[in-house]
């Protein structure tokens, strides 16, 4: 049922012409996903998804969308020549997926309920994958630097009173990145 919610929300999200609406629907979809995570026994991840994904990333999207003043929906929606190959391949993929899922042995096994508490989860992560954590943090640092460079490099050449609005996205990006750490 929750999965129905997720799927539904995603489907609606991708068909919105207004980008703000699309982002909002996607936030709904992320909430649903978080519920799924919780049901699959990963409460920490559920919380993290909501905080980071729905909270920071989508907000970032909103900032950018609202900053770029798109005067009119100039987008050409779903030209057929683009839409048809994608739909065709999508259907092929789904058909293959269904066949694969049905054919693979062990798919009918019902998942047992098991919950990993945050403490257990954190212990596991830092015990086994500590190196990846370090790498990820460096990655985030790089992203921060990159976003700043892109933003400031552009802003320095802009004249006048647009400087503060330009620097907002890199700031929002750096804010999102710092929350990670």
Within residues 54-83, the interface with other proteins by CB under 8 A covers 56-57, 60-61, 64-65, 67-68, 70, 74-79, 81-83
Whichever of 67 and 163 has its CB closer to other proteins, that residue is 67
The terminus-to-terminus CA distance of the chain in angstroms comes to 34
Tokens of 63: 């900032």
Whichever of 93 and 163 has its CB closer to other proteins, that residue is 93
Distances 5 to 35, 57, 166 between C-alpha atoms, Å: 10, 21, 37
Q: Of 41, 42, 32, whose CA–CA distance to 112 is shortest?
A: 41
Which of 21, 66, 89, 156 is in the footprint of other proteins by CB under 8 A?
89
String of contacts with other proteins for each residue 30-49, x by CB under 8 A: x--x--xx-xxxx-xx--xx
Which of 24, 28, 47, 116 is in the footprint of other proteins by CB under 8 A?
116
Helix pair angle (163-180, 58-67), 10° resolution:
180
Could you give the CA distance from residue 117 to residue 127 in angstroms, rounded to a whole number?
Answer: 15
Which of 72, 112, 119, 164 is in the footprint of other proteins by CB under 8 A?
112
Nearest distance in Å: CB 82, other proteins: 5
């Amino acid at each position: 049922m929750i999965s129905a919610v997720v799927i539904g929300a995603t489907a609606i999200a991708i068909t919105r012409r207004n980008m703000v609406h699309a982002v909002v629907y996607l936030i709904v979809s992320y909430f649903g996903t978080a519920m799924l995570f919780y049901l699959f026994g990963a409460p920490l991840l559920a919380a993290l998804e909501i905080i980071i994904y729905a909270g920071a990333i989508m907000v970032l999207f909103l900032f950018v969308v609202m900053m770029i003043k798109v005067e009119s929906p100039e987008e050409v929606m779903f030209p057929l020549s683009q839409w048809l190959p994608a739909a065709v391949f999508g259907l092929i993929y789904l058909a293959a997926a269904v066949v694969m899922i049905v054919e693979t042995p062990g798919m009918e096994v019902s998942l047992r309920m098991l919950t990993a508490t945050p403490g257990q989860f954190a212990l596991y992560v830092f015990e086994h994958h500590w190196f990846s954590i370090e790498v990820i943090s460096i990655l985030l640092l790089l992203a921060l630097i990159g976003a700043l460079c892109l933003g400031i490099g552009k802003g320095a050449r802009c004249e006048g009173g647009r400087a503060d609005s330009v620097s907002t996205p890199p700031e929002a990006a750096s804010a999102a990145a710092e929350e990670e750490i």
